[in-house]
Amino acid sequence: MKIIKRDGHMVDYCPAKIEEAIEKANLEVEEEDRASSIQIKNIIKYIERLGKKRILVEDIQDIIEMKLMSIGKYELAKHYITYRYTRELIRRSNTTDQSIKELIDGESEYWNTENSNKDAKVVTTQRDYLAGITSTDITRRFLLPEDIVQAHDDGIIHFHDADYFAQNALHNCDLIDLNDMLQNGTNINGVMIEKPHRFLTAMTIATQLITAVNSSQYGGCTITLTHLAPFVRSSREFYENKYKKRKLTKAQCEKFVKEDLAKEITDGVQTFQYQINSMTTTNGQAPFLSVCLYLGETEEYKEELAMIIEEVLKQRMEGMKNENGVYVTPAFPKLLYVLEEDNINPDSKYYYLTKLAAECTAKRMVPDYISEKVMKENKIDKNGNGQCYPCMGCRSFLTPYVDEAGKPKYYGRFNQGVVTINLVDVALSSDKDEEDFWKIMDERLELCHRALQIRHKRLSKVTSDVAPILWQHGALARLKKGESIHDLLHGGYSTISLGYAGLYECVKYMTGHSHTDNGKGKEFALLVMQHLVDKCNEWKNDENIDYSVYGTPIESTTYKFAKCLKDRFGVIKGVTDRDYITNSYHVPVFEEIDAFTKLSLESEFQKLSPGGAISYVETANLTNNLDAVMEVITFIYNNIMYAELNTKSDYCHECGYSGEILIDDKLEWYCPNCGNRNHDKLNVARRTCGYIGTNFWNKGRTQEIKERVVHVDNKDA
């Protein structure tokens, strides 16, 4: 008989351990309450007569308690339960101690690859991780029910960001209301920040505000350049007044104003880019920031906005210098370029910006593209109007919202948190019985629902004092001191996310087909997605909380889920035979499919993932084939809400090679030019889960990156 331990590993059955545990409890009670050696042996025989090939260690402990009570040893049973609980505390404490030791020693693959944008050797990152280990321990022991912890450990669900959950003040991600903070003033650490009068000042203040906000939550955040455009006009007026006083000709004034304004925009964007990448938040990394480039957000300041967008794209295309002084691809900020009638056609006024964006994408993997046309078809507010707005961070989308004045509102809103269901485990647990599949699905969804309720209830205790920059000084609200954020958690103002992962493997196991097959595979996949949406709507209607289906960006969790599935179900060809599972609704990375078919198919699934989704196509080096990039961008505009192009932009410090760093069969990275395998001397940038990672990945994600097929080659144009 094999014993399944709490971490999923199996060990040989050992009756001596049962005897030892009961004898230790015997020592804690009076002699007449003790179990005799014969009674102990009978309990052991009962367990062995069950004839099980495998049994959970918790089930054995339950049997021992039941048998002790059945022979009248109630006091002994009570002490055995106490012993069991004490052992559990020690076990968890030892696990925490071990995690801390592995982190500090720097020898743990998990900590060194937990986040592709965090360097676990750096002291600020270690400090964040150490706090996270403690938070996770408290969360597991005191804040979550045992069945949710067990389901998380077994890879049945994933309770995200447990390393921040002990602090009930923290939420997931948001759209920063930079307009409110810049126009009306704000406050950082008790210091009043008044409205800036120049663009350069506004850009400097913006980076400080972003860093402060990012340190007060744990997910990604997004700003829009539209909120900075008015300050370009302020700077122009400053220069106009300056040169008018010098009694120059009109032509001279216009020339000098244009030159000075262009320089200030260049300096402002450069300041922004350098500060965002050089600042460190309390999370131990640069601010996890996305920047929206959307001309349609303003008519009044559209020309000024276009000037900023152009400069941002130019500087991002150039890249940032690494320690060797070579320009490389930075991870942040992520850029979100909105495609619209004013910039998508060759005769559009701002088409030149889209061409510039395409060139930037080919070289630096950004920007990503949002189709105003498709988004307005997908995102309909209660007044029946289509809305377009950016995601929070890499992919988390708010649901449409109209304020009391009847105006759409997005900036100043946020997401409360995520719990993810492992769809592959649901399928495998059903053993291909469709009736059992839906039954198990509902059981697992209710588990996620309860976990999400715990997240919501914990946030509902928060007052504005815990993060003044967020709740009192304009980033998300202007609440009074001590005022509760409770109302902001209801009525659709904020969202809370039901994540999902592994749709492909789920469908493959249940139907024998990929969800790319226009038959049973796709049909079943759409049923699964609709079921998730229906559940979220049911919870929303019952609780007035905006539950939303979210295509989870599982970075390290893809490896964890894959390992758990192998432990629970063994290796199943085409389902559990890799060290990763497929993100959200994506076509699996190894499936041969052209870019346009992929985007068309995934567009159908984006509609059923309103809380967050992003699609991508993998491309060859297209820096010399911008026509191909433009063809994909145009297709995105007409067919899918949100998508990106994944190119390769790496650098080897040893030989100066610039191109694609490769992965060998042992999942080790190496330079194809000189063979260098030293991670410290390789700059590698890959899109990981909607954002660019630069610090390497765990084995599961590395295998996934290695197996990605190219959807757009140079010959495809």
Residue with tokens 């743990």: 108
What are the tokens at 109? 């693959």
Q: Is 249 helix (H, G, I), strand (E, B) or coil?
A: coil
Q: Is 396 a catalytic residue?
A: yes
Which member of 410, 550, 559, 580 is catalytic?
550
**506 in active site:** no
> One of 117, 135, 172, 683 is an active-site residue; which one?
172
**Could you tell me the CA-to-CA distances from 409 to 387, 389, 394, 484, 694 in Å, in that order?**
10, 10, 20, 21, 34
402 in Cβ contact with 383 (< 8 Å): yes
In the beta sheet, which residues pair with residue 222? 175, 290
- Coil vs helix vs strand at 490: coil
Active site residue 172: yes
> Which position among 114, 264, 297, 555 bears the catalytic label?
555
* Spatial CA neighbour of 404 closest among 375, 382, 388, 384: 382
List 115, 164, 173, 417, catalytic entry: 173
Of the residues 115, 216, 371, 396, only one is catalytic, namely 396
- The residue among 341, 344, 316, 346 whose CA lies nearest residue 331 is 316
- Integer-rounded Cα Rg, in Å, for the chain is 28
Q: What residues form DSSP beta bridges with 670?
A: 662
The distance in angstroms from the start CA to the end CA of the chain is: 60
Q: How far apart are CA 204 and CA 301, in angstroms?
A: 20
Cis-peptide into 610, omega within 30 deg: no
Active site (annotated) includes residue 656: no
Residue 108 falls in the annotated catalytic set: no
Q: How many helices (H) and strands (E) does the chain have?
A: 25, 25
Strand-pair category, 615-618 with 642-646? parallel
Please say if 296 is a catalytic residue: no
In the residue annotation, 173 being an active-site residue is answered as yes
Tell how strand 221-224 and strand 289-293 pair up.
Answer: parallel
- Match 């200030």 to its residue by tokens: 264
Closest CA to 306 of 372, 232, 245: 232
- Among candidate residues 360, 388, 392, 506, the one labeled active-site is 392
Written as one string, the DSSP assignment of 589-657 is TTS---HHHHHHHHHHHHTT-TTB--EEEEB---TT-HHHHHHHHHHHHHH-SEEEEE---EEETTT--
CA distance 13 to 603: 51
β partners of residue 334: 290
Taking the C-alpha atoms of residue 223 and residue 214, their distance in angstroms, rounded to an integer, is: 12
Going by C-beta distance under 8 Å and a sequence separation of 6 or more, which residues neighbour residue 185? 192, 193, 194, 195
- 418 with 424: CB under 8 angstroms? no
Catalytic hit among 394, 441, 448, 652: 394
Concerning whether 69 is annotated as a catalytic residue, the answer is no
Distance CA(162)–CA(132), nearest Å, equals: 8
Dihedrals phi, psi of 540, to nearest 5 degrees: -60, -45
Q: With helix as H, strand as E and coil as C, how does 288-304 read? A: CEEEEECHHHCCCCHHH
Active site residue 574: no
- Structure letter (DSSP) for residue 456: H
3-class SS at 576? coil
Q: Count CB atoms within 10 A of the CB of residue 345.
A: 12
| Alpha carbon distance 260, 215 (integer Å) | 35
Marked catalytic residue, from 690, 691, 693, 700: 690
Give the residue carrying structure tokens 């060290």. Answer: 579
The residues carrying an active-site annotation are: 172-173, 392, 394, 396, 415, 550, 555, 690
